[in-house]
A = this chain, B = another copy of it.
């Protein structure tokens, strides 16, 4: 695990800015954790923004599809915005698949040390497929969709995530607690 201590040092006006990137397969639980964590951080008095695909599509990424190039560009744009916000004292939660390691590392490199926290939501594909929140796994199985991350499109898991969240082995509350502690220890 990397040293996250910088992220827990308050900025000038008492706010800790940090980008928390939740990477994992579709239906792994990224957005659910992000929304619950957002609530807790708002209760703490933090400034919080959640940048998920739906939130940014209309304004930032509507030209992008699902090629590797477009997926990387999606990560790059969201990562840049997260960088700007986090250096201004905002806790930015990005529940975004970000399947390619190089693109995630590029976003990390934009940030000052400790300002980028990579959370690997490590739910196995079988569990994700059973949950199938958006019906994507069923669509893929039925042959109506291709390029589903983790099934017939690549997913490169983090080799050294800052935080590991195995949602198949713990409750939502425990998952949120795990990430929250990593930001505060």
Chain A residues proximal to chain B, CB less than 8 Å: 13-15, 47, 49, 56, 59-60, 63, 73, 76-77, 79-81, 84-85, 88-90, 110
Contact = CB atoms under 8 A, between A and B. Distances in A.
A75 to B, nearest CB: 11
Q: For the complex of A and B, list the 8 residue pairs with the smallest distance between their C-beta atoms, beginning with the closest.
A: A59-B80, A88-B90, A47-B88, A13-B13, A81-B81, A60-B77, A60-B80, A59-B76
Nearest to A63: B63
A89 B84 CA distance: 12
A172 to B, nearest CB: 26
| Most chain B C-beta atoms within 10 Å of own C-beta, residue among A59, A76, A89 | A59
Contacts of A14: 13
Contact of A84 (B49, B76, B110): B49
Given A13-B15, A60-B77, 8 more contacts: A56-B80, A60-B60, A60-B80, A60-B81, A63-B63, A63-B73, A81-B81, A85-B85
A57 B73 CA distance: 12
A88 B13 contact: no
A7 to B, nearest CB: 17
Contact of A89 (B47, B49, B76): B47
A59 B61 CA distance: 12
Contacts of A56: 80
Contacts of A59: 76-77, 79-80, 110
Contacts of A84: 49, 81, 85
| Most chain B C-beta atoms within 10 Å of own C-beta, residue among A14, A81, A84 | A84
